[in-house]
Amino acid sequence: MSTELLAIHRERLDRALAALQSREAWTGFIESPSTRVHGEDAPRRAREWFEGRLGQPFEIGQPDERMRAGEEVSPYTGKPLGISYPASSPDALFAAARAAQPAWRDAGPEARTGVCLEMLARLGDRAFENTWAVMHTAGQSYAMAYAGSGPNALDRGLEALARGWQAMQQLPAHAEWHKRFGKEEVRLEKRYRLMPLGPAVVFCCASFPTWNAHPAIFANLVTGNPVLVKPHPGCVLPMALTVQTLRTVLATHGHDPNLVQLVVDTFAEPLGKVLVEHPDCAIIDFTGSSRFGSWVEAHAGGRPCYTETSGVNSVVIESCASLPEMARAIAGSVCLFSSQMCTSPQNIWIPRDGIRTGDGHASADDVRAAITGAIDALVADPRRAAGVLGAIQARQTLDLIADRQRAAEAGGRVLRASTPYPHPDFPDAWTATPLVIATDLERHDEFADEVFGPIAFCVEAPDADTALAQATADARRNGAITAFVYSTDDAWLDRAELAWAEAGAALTSNLTGAMPLNFAAAYSDLHVSGLNPAGNATLADWAFVAGRFRIAQARRPLPG
């Protein structure tokens, strides 16, 4: 029984391992939400599931469920979800996690991997329920909530799981060793035990919870560590659904469900510091603000601490083959989920004297106009806007847009004003089209760090090299996850590639067309480099998994 699940899912694991090495496009899950694939009933049943949760206690069955908490508000309706979650005390959860750990450790890598693969499959079954959960907490569009927060996030989880599997194969469980010392042949049996570090706390962000949480959860679980999932208080439901699913799989297959537990707190009384400072917290996975992230990093001590905080992502334009195509690509990426992604571009660097294009010279004004025009075109049709922009997760983001817009208006620097767009299905949705502000190096403070939400800066620079130097300097100082450049000059592209590698942002050059600029594919695109302050939780390399367990050795003479 212990390796039955691994046998069932073995092909999926092997395909993931192969894709990790080849870096080719592959998915272990179904990326399309089409009812032709899933049947007519699946979306309807998921909607019913979601509506049945509203105003109800969400049952997980974990220890110490007396207290309840729940403060989520749907960005699509503006109304509280009214779901109450168990608000178990950290002490109770850590104690239960520690109690669950030895048997999970002793189950061994094969059994753990099999259970984790089963968990991913069962999460895949709930992709439509997850869609509703993500929409009405994170504010993602239906399509993104299905694919980006479902199969794509599961692929990132599977990727991390496969990396953990690789790491656990680095040596055998047993070995024999023979060596001559003088006249004596010494013969030893050696045993290598993979030892988990202990409970891991996984902090999840409000706008894209599953995509970073799944890799952390599975990297921890497969290497033997219990997990406390700590969602943002404004976005609990997707993680509650995840925890519930994982606990069911554990219980079904004879494992302690307390290997995965949910920690729910409130805006008024956050538990983040309590969790990090708890003596039983052995590993920290953090996705969230750079402010709290810095505190977490400073208090991690010698514990493994994998972070994704924030960064300032840039587009540097040196020249391009087609101004309209480039503008559409940039506009699409600025609009995608209203720039609430850690990969969304914020600063668009434009040379003062304009650029070469395939259709001749374009002035800086031409470039700015092309980009704002492309945004206008994209958001003009509400149904298309709804599919791309989704909703705004937090009211504070709407306030920030208003503040920045007022400030820029005072200087006559608003290139494109942000306005709500009418959502075709949810008239009360919190929506906002991108604000685009004209700025330059003299106003560097305005855009040098992350400004969260649909706010883009067209930064005029003396020339493309100056732009590249300043944009990469900003990334080194304040973090960056992605970067984008456009140039028809191969030598310049090569220089830019090295500059962005040294700044630690994943670079996309000259991309136009159907793929969103900031789409990151599991098994192929690395996410977060560890080379700048945006974090070190690289999805997924060896560094993401190798430190989550240690190896204890024992040896004794072989019999006979």
What residues line the site for its own copies (CB under 8 A)? 20-25, 166-167, 170-172, 175-179, 181-184, 186, 188, 190-193, 195, 297, 300, 302, 305, 493, 497, 500-502, 504, 506-511, 513-515, 521, 524-526, 529-531, 536, 538, 541-543, 546-547, 550-557
> Could you tell me the smallest distance in angstroms from the CB atom of residue 549 to its own copies?
8
Q: What is the 3-state secondary structure (H, E, C) of 430-444?
A: CCCCCEEEEEEHHHH
**Closest distance of CB 522 from its own copies, Å:** 12
Q: How far is the CB of 149 from its own copies (least distance, A)?
A: 18
**CA-to-CA distance for 350 and 467, rounded, in angstroms?**
8
Radius of gyration of the chain (CA): 25
10-13: long-range contacts at Cβ-Cβ below 8 A with a sequence spacing of 24 or more? 12/117, 12/121, 12/158, 13/113, 13/117, 13/158, 13/161, 13/162, 13/165
Q: Identify whether the C-beta of residue 80 lies closer than 8 Å to the C-beta of residue 267.
A: no
256 vs 541 by CB, closer to its own copies: 541
Q: How far is the CB of 42 from its own copies (least distance, A)?
A: 22
Cis peptide before 540 (omega within 30 of 0): yes
- In the complex, the smallest distance separating the C-beta of residue 543 from its own copies, rounded to whole angstroms, is 4
Q: How far is CA 468 from CA 160, 179, 223, 488, 507, in A?
A: 33, 59, 41, 15, 12
Closest CB to its own copies among residues 346, 518: 518
Cβ closest to its own copies, residue 107 vs residue 398? 107
User: How many Å apart are CA 114 and CA 239, to the nearest integer?
Assistant: 21
Nearer to its own copies, 248 or 510 (CB): 510
Nearer to its own copies, 66 or 180 (CB): 180
CB of 305 or CB of 317, closer to its own copies: 305
Smallest distance, its own copies to C-beta of residue 54, A? 34
Whose Cβ is closer to its own copies: residue 16's or residue 83's?
16
User: Cα(304)–Cα(300) distance, rounded to whole angstroms?
Assistant: 7
Helix (H) or strand (E) holding 486: strand 482-486
8 A C-beta contact, residue 392 and residue 38: no
Residue placing its CB nearer to its own copies in the complex, 66 or 174: 174
Residue 53 belongs to what H/E stretch? Answer: helix 41-53
Residue 59 CB neighbours (<10 A): 11
User: Least distance from C-beta 150 to its own copies, angstroms?
Assistant: 17
> What is the closest distance, in whole angstroms, from the C-beta atom of residue 121 to its own copies in the complex?
23
The residue among 60 and 355 lying less far from its own copies, judged by its C-beta, is 355
Q: Which residue has the tokens 């496009």?
A: 25
How far CA 237 is from CA of 57, 248, 257, 288, 510, in Å, comes to: 11, 16, 19, 17, 38
The DSSP call for residue 57 is B
- Of 182 and 360, nearer to its own copies (C-beta) is 182
Q: How far is the CB of 414 from its own copies (least distance, A)?
A: 32
Closest CB 67 distance from its own copies, rounded Å: 33
> Amino acid identity of 451?
V
299: which residues sit within 8 A by CB, 6+ positions away? 273, 276, 277
Residue 315 has phi, psi (to 5 degrees) of: -115, 125
Q: Where are the alpha helices (DSSP H) in 184-283?
A: 209-222, 237-252, 272-277
Map residue 52 onto helix, strand or coil. helix
Task: Choose between 25 and 402: whose C-beta lies nearer to its own copies.
Answer: 25
Query: CA-to-CA distance for 499 and 477, rounded, in angstroms?
Result: 14
Q: What is the 3-state secondary structure (H, E, C) of 199-223?
A: CEEEECCCCCHHHHHHHHHHHHHHC
User: Whole-angstrom Cα distance, residue 178 to residue 524?
Assistant: 42
Nearest to its own copies of 176, 442 (CB atom): 176
Q: Please, what is the minimum distance in Å from the beta carbon of residue 186 to its own copies?
A: 4
Residues 6 or more apart whose CB falls under 8 angstroms from that of 249 comprise 115, 118, 119, 122
CB of 503 to its own copies, least distance (A): 9
The least CB distance from residue 31 to its own copies, in Å, is 10
φ, ψ (nearest 5 deg) of residue 298 = -70, -25
Nearer to its own copies, 137 or 536 (CB): 536
320/401 with CB nearer its own copies: 320
Give least dist CB 318 to its own copies, A: 13
